[in-house]
């Protein structure tokens, strides 16, 4: 498992592989090709526009933190595309070592198999359905890493249920865990109130007070309940929004 960490991709390598996969996808019928393109566009836009805030950086540096950062994410996720580059750039500017690991639902969403094989003594790939590699959720290797590698900070970005269980995994080890709650935002202006979450029992707006929060302080059940409020309407809108894009129900 230590080899797995030592041989993880840097953010630059990850980007190169994602570009390569999009431009030379060996699967001509890959239904996720559009997502790769969307993800890359967002990532590159964030890379171009994100500027490390001087005050935030100075504040962070004053804490004299020199640990290793573990980011758990999913390559197809639009939120991750926007967030991971910013997180990576920030910690890089602060002089920290940053490594990224990813989990996927199934074989079709794994985009770095060859590259990982080339650099790892032992390649461990997790898919939820076991269609490739180890049948496990990301929390399984996360727990093992908490026991053996002991990261100083975990950043989880992806579906709320994944982030919830990441925090349940890291809590017994007392490893600070930052989560990104932007999936609940609607207009992102502080006006609609749709992004209300409960943090340590207090109501916060994700778009105003976040979107990153201490994962241990989030009321996950409340957030997931609220996320499901307009499920029926979302499903109907999903159909209308994606007419002509050939995106199947359940893929977005
Ligand atoms: S997303 Fe509407 S208030 Fe935050």
Domains for the chain: give ranges and CATH numbers.
Answer: 2-180 (3.40.50)
- CA–centroid distance, 180 to ligand 1, in Å, is 15
Query: Other C-beta atoms within 10 Å of 34: how many?
Result: 15
- CA–centroid distance, 6 to ligand 1, in Å, is 40
Query: Which of 193, 203, 211 maximizes ligand 1 atoms within 8 Å of its Cβ, making it the mutation to test the pocket?
Result: 193
Of 107, 66, 92, which Cα lies nearest the Cα of 14?
92
pLDDT of residue 164: 94
Please give the structure tokens belonging to residue 133: 């590699």
- CA–centroid distance, 235 to ligand 1, in Å, is 21
Of 64, 146, 149, 77, which Cα lies nearest the Cα of 109?
77
pLDDT of residue 227: 86
- In terms of DSSP bridges, do strands 202-205 and 196-199 run parallel, antiparallel, or are they unpaired? antiparallel
- CA–centroid distance, 208 to ligand 1, in Å, is 8
Query: Which of 180, 183, 192, 210 maximizes ligand 1 atoms within 8 Å of its Cβ, making it the mutation to test the pocket?
Result: 192
Please give the structure tokens belonging to residue 130: 């076991």
Quickly tell me which residue has 């920030």 as its tokens: 90
Question: Would you state the torsion angle of the CA atoms of residues 72, 74, 75, 81, taken in this order, to the nearest 10 degrees?
Answer: -80
- CA–centroid distance, 186 to ligand 1, in Å, is 5
How many angstroms separate the CA atoms of 128 and 61, rounded? Answer: 38
User: Which residues does a 6 A CB cutoff place in the pocket of ligand 1?
Assistant: 185-195, 205-207
Chain centroid to CA 138: 11
pLDDT of residue 76: 59
CA-based Rg of the chain, rounded to a whole angstrom? 18
- In terms of DSSP bridges, do strands 68-73 and 202-205 run parallel, antiparallel, or are they unpaired? unpaired
Take atom 3 of ligand 1 and give the residue whose Cα is closest: 190
CB 129 within 8 A of CB 164: no
pLDDT of residue 242: 63
Q: What are phi and psi of 203, to 5 degrees?
A: -75, 130
Please list the pLDDT of the chain residue by residue as tens digits (252 residues): 567 677 777 787 877 877 787 788 777 777 777 777 777 777 777 777 888 888 888 888 887 777 777 776 665 566 666 676 677 777 777 776 666 667 788 888 876 556 545 544 455 678 888 887 778 888 888 898 888 888 888 888 888 998 999 999 999 999 999 999 988 888 888 888 889 999 999 999 998 898 899 999 999 999 999 888 777 877 777 766 665 555 555 554
Beta bridge partners of 199: 202, 218
Measuring CA to CA, how many Å separate 109 from each of 22, 36, 52, 128?
A: 12, 10, 31, 11
Query: Which of 188, 203, 227 maximizes ligand 1 atoms within 8 Å of its Cβ, making it the mutation to test the pocket?
Result: 188
- CA–centroid distance, 183 to ligand 1, in Å, is 11
Beta bridge partners of 203: 198
Query: Which of 79, 182, 186, 210 maximizes ligand 1 atoms within 8 Å of its Cβ, making it the mutation to test the pocket?
Result: 186
pTM for the structure as a whole: 0.64
């Amino acid at each position: 498992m230590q080899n797995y960490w030592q041989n993880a991709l840097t953010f630059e390598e990850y980007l190169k592989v994602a570009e390569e996969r999009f431009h030379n996808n060996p699967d001509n019928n890959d239904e996720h090709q559009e997502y790769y393109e969307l993800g890359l566009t967002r990532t590159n836009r964030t890379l171009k526009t994100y500027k490390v805030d001087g005050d935030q950086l100075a504040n962070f540096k004053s804490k004299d933190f020199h640990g290793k950062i573990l980011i758990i994410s999913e390559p197809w996720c639009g939120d991750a595309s926007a967030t991971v580059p910013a997180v990576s750039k920030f910690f890089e500017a602060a002089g920290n070592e940053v490594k990224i690991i990813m989990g996927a639902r199934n074989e079709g969403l794994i985009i770095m198999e060859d590259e990982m094989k080339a650099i790892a003594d032992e390649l461990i790939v997790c898919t939820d359905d076991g269609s490739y590699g180890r049948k496990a959720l990301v929390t399984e290797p996360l727990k093992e890493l908490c026991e053996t590698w002991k990261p100083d900070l975990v950043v989880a970005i992806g579906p709320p249920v994944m982030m919830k269980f990441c925090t349940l995994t890291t809590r017994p080890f007392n490893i600070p865990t930052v989560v990104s709650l932007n999936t609940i935002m609607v207009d992102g202006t502080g006006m609609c109130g749709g992004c209300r979450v409960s943090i340590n029992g207090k109501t916060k707006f994700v778009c105003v007070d976040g979107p990153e929060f201490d994962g241990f302080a989030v009321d996950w059940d409340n957030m997931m309940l609220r996320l499901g409020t307009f499920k029926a309407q979302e499903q109907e809108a999903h159909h209308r929004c994606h007419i002509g894009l050939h995106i199947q129900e359940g893929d977005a």
